[in-house]
Amino acid sequence: MRAKALTFVFLLFSVVAFGQENLDLQRNEESELFRAKSNYNVQQRIAEIKKLEGKTITVFEVSGKANNIKMSYTGTVRVTNYPGRTDEAAATLITVDTKDENSGRSSSYYPLTNNKRYRIYLTEQIK
């Protein structure tokens, strides 16, 4: 019984790993927003985020050297102002609002602009 359960778990993970897509970073390099993940100008980054307000972006959360796509979502950028938030914090966080057309359910995501796991693109520029 235990051997069957282990076999099932192994097959499940094999199918999940096989089905993962990879994000081609070179193909979309020119259209990636916030390419600099460190040593960037904080005020310039805040200005870039403000210019994106209301625009549709797609975010890919990737992992590993092959950039396996763990999750992706498309939504509208919303600029948020929290009292007491430092400029450094404002430059690292972007708010993306999504809406499921079928159910009408809305969600918000908060990808980090300085984390290499999050690859952010203007939806209209993705190849």
Q: For residue range 67-79, list pLDDT tens digits in order.
A: 899 999 999 999 8
Please indicate, yes or no, if residue 6 is contained in any of the structural domains: no
Q: Give yes or no for a contact between 8 and 15, defined as CB atoms under 8 angstroms apart.
A: no
Please indicate, yes or no, if residue 51 is contained in any of the structural domains: yes
Q: Can you give the pLDDT at residue 1?
A: 53
Q: For residue range 80-115, list pLDDT tens digits in order.
A: 888 888 999 999 989 999 998 889 899 999 999 999
Q: For residue range 11-32, list pLDDT tens digits in order.
A: 334 334 445 688 888 888 888 9
Q: Can you give the pLDDT at residue 107?
A: 93
State how many domains the chain has.
1
Nearest-angstrom CA–CA distance, 71 and 96: 14
Please indicate, yes or no, if residue 15 is contained in any of the structural domains: no
Using pLDDT thresholds of 50, 70 and 90, give the confidence band for residue 8: very low
CATH of the domain at 94: 2.30.30
Q: For residue range 31-56, list pLDDT tens digits in order.
A: 899 999 999 999 999 999 999 999 99
Which H or E element spans position 80? none
Please indicate, yes or no, if residue 12 is contained in any of the structural domains: no
pTM: 0.78
Please indicate, yes or no, if residue 116 is contained in any of the structural domains: yes
Please indicate, yes or no, if residue 118 is contained in any of the structural domains: yes
Please indicate, yes or no, if residue 39 is contained in any of the structural domains: yes
Query: Can you give the residue range of the structural domain that contains 78?
Result: 21-125
Please indicate, yes or no, if residue 14 is contained in any of the structural domains: no
